[in-house]
Amino acid sequence: MPDTKCTELDQNDCVMPVRSANPIRARSLIRDNLEKQAGCLNLIHSRMPNIKVFSGTSHPDLAQRIVDRLGIDLGKVVTKKFSNLETCVEIGESVRGEDVYIVQSGSGEINDNLMELLIMINACKIASASRVTAVIPCFPYARQDKKDKEFSARQYTSRAPISAKLVANMLSVAGADHIITMDLHASQIQGFFDIPVDNLYAEPAVLKWIKENIPEWKNSIIVSPDAGGAKRVTSIADRLNVEFALIHKERKKANEVASMVLVGDVKDKIAILVDDMADTCGTIVHAADRLVEAGATKVYAILTHGIFSGPAISRINNACFEAVVVTNTIPQDGHMRDCPKIQCIDVSMMFAEAVRRTHNGESVSYLFSNVPY
């Protein structure tokens, strides 16, 4: 926003026309003109808010990696719970006029972490922060983005909530000015907000991992474990210049998968399953078995958000995967200890670059197809 000192001056004071027959006088006027313009720009830039990055309790390791990349210190914040389990957050430093970023992922105790994020946003907002951006690597309740049909004995009916829209409303009301997230389960969730949303993609990092870690990747085929991920796998397959396939789940009755139909030829190829998230891993394990039956030589799974709840780890250990690759949008240290097949791609540099570009008013579209180094 331009400084009032500069805008209140007469336009000629900031941009002086150079009209003089004397060349020495003309050069002097040009020098004075440039000095005045530089002074106006310095006034504007001196009023740009400094950057502060705070971390919630869901993923402090990712937040630390982000600030290390930015070359700044993590902001001081104290989070505690009262005896009745109410969440209390205290911001430990001034945020007045600052550009604040709060890193909190939708993992672990999701409801507590979401409430903690809302409280932190509101605490910074009422402490006169210039702008508050919520950095949410894994958006909570993203799978509840529409009213699905639920089967009953008499009719198809649905009384399900659209919880992703509710979360969007809560973040906006708490005071968030901007959202940065990665691989939303449905891109249309961006439309639930009336504030800017930057939905980053793990695709560039996935492509880099495939080329560096699968020697015979040119003989691979990219597979979607369900029809909903077809757009995602076709994009990756096009950039690798390989074929793609998808698996269609046929249901004879509600909540019971009768069979999985593979559409595409995977015989004598390396199958790479790609999906945005895996929770209990039932779908990707069944898909891997189906690919092996169809003649795939090796099966990899690459997932953006590795939730791995319930029996997920034991299912992966017993499955035929060469590797299950996830990003660190969710903490994976415990999962990697329990399952040697799990490998992790660090995406902290993408979030750090998105924060830097947002703070400096630069475009983030570069990150949609490139990994920053």
Please tell me the predicted confidence (pLDDT) of residue 108. Answer: 86
The pair of three-digit structure tokens given for residue 152, joined into one six-digit string: 């009953």
Mean pLDDT of the chain: 85
* Model pLDDT, residue 147: 84
Distance CA 216, CA 238 (A): 17
What is the reported pLDDT for 17?
46
Q: Which of 107-111, 171-175, 176-180, 328-332 shows the lowest per-residue confidence on average (mean pLDDT)? A: 107-111
What pLDDT is attached to residue 32?
A: 63
Kindly indicate the confidence band of residue 16, based on its pLDDT and cuts at 50, 70 and 90: very low
Position 36 confidence tier, pLDDT thresholds 50, 70, 90: low
pLDDT at 135: 97
Q: Which residue has the higher pLDDT, 17 or 231?
A: 231
- Range scoring the smallest mean pLDDT among 3-17, 32-46, 121-135: 3-17
Tokens of 149: 């049909």
What ranges do the domains of the chain cover? 51-200, 204-345
Give the predicted TM-score (pTM) of the model.
Answer: 0.82
Q: What is the pLDDT of residue 2?
A: 43
281: left (phi over 0), alpha (psi -120 to 50) or beta: left
Instruction: Output the CA torsion 302→307→311→312 (10° steps).
Output: 10
- In CATH terms, the fold of domain 51-200 is Rossmann fold (3.40.50)
Work out the pLDDT band at 253, boundaries 50, 70, 90.
very low
Q: What is the mean pLDDT of residues 328-332?
A: 95
Q: What is the mean pLDDT of residues 151-155?
A: 49
CATH topology of domain 204-345: Rossmann fold (3.40.50)
Query: Residue 168's pLDDT band (boundaries 50, 70, 90)?
Result: very high
Digit-coded pLDDT (tens) for 285-318: 999 999 999 999 999 999 999 999 999 999 999 9
Place 148 in a pLDDT band, splitting at 50, 70 and 90.
Answer: confident
Provide Rg for the chain, Cα atoms. Answer: 26
Query: Would you say residue 373 has pLDDT above 50?
Result: yes
Whole-number pLDDT of residue 196: 95
Helices (H), 265-343: 282-293, 312-318, 333-338
Write the DSSP assignment of 174-186 as a string of letters: HT--EEEEES-SS
pLDDT of residue 130 exceeding 90, the answer is yes
Alpha-carbon distance of 22 to 154, in angstroms, equals 94
pLDDT digits (tens, 9 = 90+) for 52-107: 999 999 999 999 999 999 999 999 999 999 999 999 999 999 999 999 999 999 98
**What was the pLDDT predicted at 249?**
75
Edge-to-edge strand list for the sheet holding 220-224: 256-263, 243-253, 220-224, 270-278, 298-306, 323-327, 342-345
Average pLDDT estimate for 155-161: 69
Structure confidence at residue 228 (pLDDT): 82
Contact by Cβ (8 Å): 101, 52: yes
Least confident segment among 24-33, 215-224, 359-368: 24-33
Could you tell me if 264 and 243 are in contact, meaning their C-beta atoms sit under 8 angstroms apart?
Answer: yes
DSSP code per residue over 152-170? -SS-EE-----HHHHHHHH
Q: How far apart are CA 329 and CA 136, in angstroms?
A: 9
Judge residue 12's burial from the number of C-beta atoms within 10 Å of its C-beta, 0-12 exposed, 13-18 middle, 19 or more buried. Answer: exposed
Is the model's pLDDT at 156 over the cut of 70? no
